[in-house]
């Protein structure tokens, strides 16, 4: 069996210390958390930043500070969000990629209603600009797919040369406004992928473990972390992101092997940046 990449998403834009006191918010907290997750077996870190009040932020300075603290200590593959603040401008969503040139960055391949409250806007013009900026800066998109239309958008952009093949996909299932987190939906999406694509999946909240097990059974990679799920089990908060990573390592080791950051770079075909 091929090696499995564990991505950790330690903070996201939404959960607060009220949801789980272990959520890291400051650059120092996020960097310490990522280091712990790297020690536990995570190969990729998907990062969001927060402002001084703990709200999602695309502040370039915070990204630079956090990435600096992480790169001092470990070789984890960096995957920076481009969607950490729904009110950010197109330019602000990309400025940190130009400054930092991470191996990966999120590419949300379509617009959707967000949590039944607002819009998550990814205008076609933005997606073209983002794709070209990523190519120019050697950043590989992690194409986030919340529903099947986004996957078809991505296939269109691959054909247009806006996204380079082989593409890498993250199926984000169970977000209100997107596809439900069911195994049937995961199988359906996986069967639509271009032949050479790599993929990972996550289920939000209670669907976390069913989607994790299904993705492993189907040969996919997995994402865990407090961005997507603040619980370890029903009614019991996760003690830390590392606790979620450690459980995933144990599960993978029952059936295969956990990818190191170097393995992940080889699997995703991204050059080392550390
Ligand atoms: Zn994210």
CA distance 68 to 28: 10
Residue 159: CB partners within 8 Å, gap ≥ 6? none
Tell me, in angstroms, the distance from the centre of ligand 1 to residue 255's CA. Answer: 28
Secondary structure class of 198 (helix, strand, coil): strand
Label the pairing between strands 118-120 and 112-114: antiparallel
In which band, very low, low, confident or very high, does the pLDDT at 113 lie, cut at 50, 70 and 90? Answer: very high
- Asked, for residue 1, whether it belongs to a domain, the answer is no
Number of domains in the chain: 1
Secondary structure class of 30 (helix, strand, coil): helix
CA distance 75 to 143: 22
Task: Find the mean pLDDT for residues 235-250.
Answer: 98
Tell me, in angstroms, the distance from the centre of ligand 1 to residue 150's CA. Answer: 16
Tell me, in angstroms, the distance from the centre of ligand 1 to residue 143's CA. Answer: 11
In which band, very low, low, confident or very high, does the pLDDT at 208 lie, cut at 50, 70 and 90? Answer: very high
Tell me, in angstroms, the distance from the centre of ligand 1 to residue 81's CA. Answer: 6
- Asked, for residue 273, whether it belongs to a domain, the answer is no
The per-residue pLDDT for range 26-67, each reduced to its tens digit, is 999 999 999 999 999 999 999 999 999 999 999 999 999 999
- Asked, for residue 261, whether it belongs to a domain, the answer is yes
Tell me, in angstroms, the distance from the centre of ligand 1 to residue 48's CA. Answer: 6
Tell me, in angstroms, the distance from the centre of ligand 1 to residue 46's CA. Answer: 6
Tell me, in angstroms, the distance from the centre of ligand 1 to residue 258's CA. Answer: 22
Tell me, in angstroms, the distance from the centre of ligand 1 to residue 142's CA. Answer: 11
Tell me, in angstroms, the distance from the centre of ligand 1 to residue 188's CA. Answer: 23
Tell me, in angstroms, the distance from the centre of ligand 1 to residue 196's CA. Answer: 24
pLDDT of residue 81: 98
- Evaluate if residue 272 carries a pLDDT over 90: no
Backbone angles phi, psi at 104, to 5 degrees: -135, 155
Tell me, in angstroms, the distance from the centre of ligand 1 to residue 84's CA. Answer: 7
- Evaluate if residue 274 carries a pLDDT over 90: no
Backbone angles phi, psi at 48, to 5 degrees: -115, 160
- Evaluate if residue 249 carries a pLDDT over 90: yes
Task: Find the mean pLDDT for residues 107-112.
Answer: 97
Tell me, in angstroms, the distance from the centre of ligand 1 to residue 72's CA. Answer: 23
Tell me, in angstroms, the distance from the centre of ligand 1 to residue 9's CA. Answer: 7
pLDDT of residue 273: 75
Please state, rounded to an integer, the average pLDDT across all residues of the chain: 97
CA distances for 215 relative to 181, 182, 221, angstroms: 12, 11, 7
Question: Residue 36 is part of a domain; what is its CATH number?
Answer: 3.20.20.70
Tell me, in angstroms, the distance from the centre of ligand 1 to residue 141's CA. Answer: 13
Q: Are 63 and 47 in contact (CB under 8 A)?
A: yes
Q: Which domain holds residue 27?
A: 6-268
Tell me, in angstroms, the distance from the centre of ligand 1 to residue 97's CA. Answer: 15
Percent of the chain past pLDDT 70, that is, above it, reads 99
In which band, very low, low, confident or very high, does the pLDDT at 1 lie, cut at 50, 70 and 90? Answer: low
- Asked, for residue 274, whether it belongs to a domain, the answer is no
The per-residue pLDDT for range 122-181, each reduced to its tens digit, is 999 999 999 999 999 999 999 999 999 999 999 999 999 999 999 999 999 999 999 999
Tell me, in angstroms, the distance from the centre of ligand 1 to residue 82's CA. Answer: 8
Tell me, in angstroms, the distance from the centre of ligand 1 to residue 27's CA. Answer: 16
Tell me, in angstroms, the distance from the centre of ligand 1 to residue 241's CA. Answer: 14
The per-residue pLDDT for range 13-37, each reduced to its tens digit, is 999 999 999 999 999 999 999 999 9
Residue 71: CB partners within 8 Å, gap ≥ 6? 274
CA distance 52 to 57: 9
- Asked, for residue 35, whether it belongs to a domain, the answer is yes
Tell me, in angstroms, the distance from the centre of ligand 1 to residue 151's CA. Answer: 17
The per-residue pLDDT for range 90-105, each reduced to its tens digit, is 999 999 999 999 999 9
């Amino acid at each position: 069996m091929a090696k499995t990449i564990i991505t950790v998403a330690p903070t996201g834009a939404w959960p607060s210390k009220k949801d789980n006191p272990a959520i890291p918010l400051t650059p120092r907290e996020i960097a310490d958390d990522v280091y712990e997750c790297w020690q536990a077996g995570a190969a990729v870190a998907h990062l969001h930043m927060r402002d001084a009040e703990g709200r999602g932020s695309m502040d370039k300075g915070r990204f630079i500070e956090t990435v600096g603290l992480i790169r001092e200590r470990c070789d984890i593959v960096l995957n920076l969000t481009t969607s950490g603040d729904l009110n950010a401008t197109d330019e602000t969503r990309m400025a940190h990629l130009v400054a930092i040139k991470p191996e990966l960055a999120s590419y949300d391949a379509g617009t959707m209603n967000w949590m039944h409250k607002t819009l998550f806007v990814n205008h076609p013009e933005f997606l073209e600009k983002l794709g070209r900026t990523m190519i120019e800066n050697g950043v590989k998109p992690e194409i986030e797919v919340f529903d099947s239309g986004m996957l078809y958008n991505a296939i269109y952009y691959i054909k247009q040369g806006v996204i380079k093949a082989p593409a890498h996909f993250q199926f984000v299932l169970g977000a209100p406004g997107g596809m439900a987190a069911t195994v049937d939906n995961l199988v359906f999406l996986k069967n639509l992928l271009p032949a050479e694509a790599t993929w990972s999946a996550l289920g939000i909240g209670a669907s976390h473990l069913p989607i994790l097990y299904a993705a492993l059974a189907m040969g996919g990679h997995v994402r865990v972390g407090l961005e997507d799920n603040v619980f370890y089990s029903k009614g019991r908060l996760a003690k830390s992101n590392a606790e979620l990573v450690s459980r995933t390592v144990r599960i993978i080791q029952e059936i295969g092997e956990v990818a190191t950051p170097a393995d992940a770079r080889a699997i995703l075909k991204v050059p080392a940046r550390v």
